[in-house]
Amino acid sequence: MADNQQKEGTTIKNWEKLLEESGILAGTATKERLSEEGSLLLNTLKWMLATLYESFWKAEYWLPPGYTWADLEDSDDITYPHPKDLLAVVPLTFVLLVIRYGSERIIGLPLSRAMGVRDPRRIKATPNPILESFFQTQNKKPEKDDLSHLASQCSLSVRQIQCWFRRRRNQERPLMSKKFSESCWRFLFYSTSFLDGLFVFYNETWFGKPETVWDGYPKQPLQPAIYWWYLLELSFYFSLLLTLSYDVKRKDFKEQVVHHFVAVTLILFSYSANFVHIGALVLLLHDVSDIFMEVKNDVRSDTEEQDTSDEQLEMRQQKSGKLRSNDAIDIRARGGLKASPACH
């Protein structure tokens, strides 16, 4: 018994020694070595990030030859654009989201009702796991063969399957009041931003004479009013990016995503390189054109599919059949009237 315990103790010690040599069971020396390696790795990562930061902000990439970032340091009550100034866009973006939420409900929805925009009455599709699975994974508009196969699976008629898919598709269509409210918010922002821009830039020389927009570049001081207007534009496009998954997905959804990302990138770049004057003119032109885009936007373009039950369809078919039979009788009667003189 004692011999067995002694053998087990020797075996355990041998395993511990083997694990320590392989680094799996770390002793004090191994822990120190790992700590040194971790510090070295952390320092290397810091050096790489610092090198990347310096390479990205090299003056020759952003400024004309002969200028450095030191030339754009603030002095004697003269302020120049600095990328760090744009950090204020974070709280301002959330402020705009709150304003949007309130304007859509306080202005957009009442205005939609006043202008006669009504949400159609929708009948929800009856829960059906088989049809729902087909709708989500395969096709939202099944073909004739699929309709027959689904009808046999669910013990329903083809007409009932068609009605179910029609109602299910209508459930995913955005409400017209929501589309109107979103367009109303964008219209209000673009209109306000455009009018504010006119008020801010009206007394600027480069606004009335665009050929002077590059005079003195890059040492063009930043006016506080232009800074806040620029910040407002950037915050607006950031807010649009944050709400993309909640907004109505229009037909040009992918184009909208690309547009918003490009707009944010260009605004960031133009501010960092002190392209503020030319950037302000470009943004102002886009704002005035976007006003008319929102006015032109038709909230009724995404029409509902007509939801009709089997009984309604049968009544319509009977009515159309009666009309056709009456038309045929009328045509025969007219033909008989025309033919009667010839018989005499």
**226 or 6: which leads in pLDDT:** 226
Rounded CA-CA distance 182/178 in Å is 6
Mean pLDDT of the chain: 78
In this prediction, residue 99 has a pLDDT band, given cuts at 50, 70 and 90, of: very high
Interval 252-275 mean pLDDT: 90
Helix (H) or strand (E) holding 185: helix 176-201
Between 296 and 128, the more confident residue is 128
Strand partners, 183: none
The answer to whether the CB of 274 falls within 8 A of the CB of 72 is yes
Backbone angles phi, psi at 140, to 5 degrees: -85, -15
Among the listed residues 94, 89, 283, the one whose alpha carbon sits nearest the alpha carbon of residue 190: 283
pTM assigned to the model: 0.68
Instruction: Compute the distance between CA of residue 284 and CA of residue 191 in angstroms, rounded to an integer.
Output: 10
Task: Give mean pLDDT, residues 24-52.
Answer: 71
Q: Which helix (H) or strand (E) element contains residue 194?
A: helix 176-201
Task: Answer whether residue 223 shows pLDDT above 70.
Answer: yes
Mean pLDDT of 252-263: 88
Sequence-distant (≥ 6) Cβ neighbours of residue 250 within 8 angstroms: 256
What value does the mean pLDDT take over residues 243-257? 83
Higher pLDDT, 187 or 173: 187
pLDDT band at 33; cut points 50, 70, 90:
low
Interval 307-318 mean pLDDT: 49
**What distance in Å separates the CA atoms of residue 270 and residue 279, rounded to the nearest whole number?**
6
**Burial state string for 192-225 with b = 16 or more CB within 10 A and e = fewer than 16:** ebbebbeebbeebebbeeeeebeeeebebebeee
Rounded CA gap, 94 and 257, in Å? 19
CATH code 1.10.10.60 region(s) in the chain: 121-173
- 3 pLDDT band, cuts 50/70/90, is low
Q: What is the pLDDT of residue 337?
A: 31
Is residue 271 a contact partner of residue 283, using CB atoms and an 8 Å limit? no
Rounded distance between C-alpha atoms, residue 115 and residue 78, angstroms:
50
pLDDT at 237 over 90: yes
Element (H, E) at 182: helix 176-201
Q: Residue 15 — pLDDT band, cuts 50, 70, 90?
A: low
Location of structure tokens 């109505």 = 248
316, pLDDT greater than 80: no
Backbone phi, then psi, for 15, in 5-degree steps? -65, -40
What's residue 97's pLDDT?
Answer: 95
pLDDT tens-digit map of 113-170: 888 888 777 778 788 888 888 888 877 888 888 888 888 888 888 888 888 888 888 8
State the pLDDT at residue 185.
93
DSSP classification of residue 104: I
In this prediction, residue 311 has a pLDDT band, given cuts at 50, 70 and 90, of very low
CATH no., domain 121-173:
1.10.10.60
C-beta of residue 23 within 8 angstroms of C-beta of residue 30: yes
The reported pLDDT for the residue numbered 34 is: 61
Name the amino acid, one letter, at 326.
Answer: N
Q: What is the pLDDT of residue 22?
A: 52
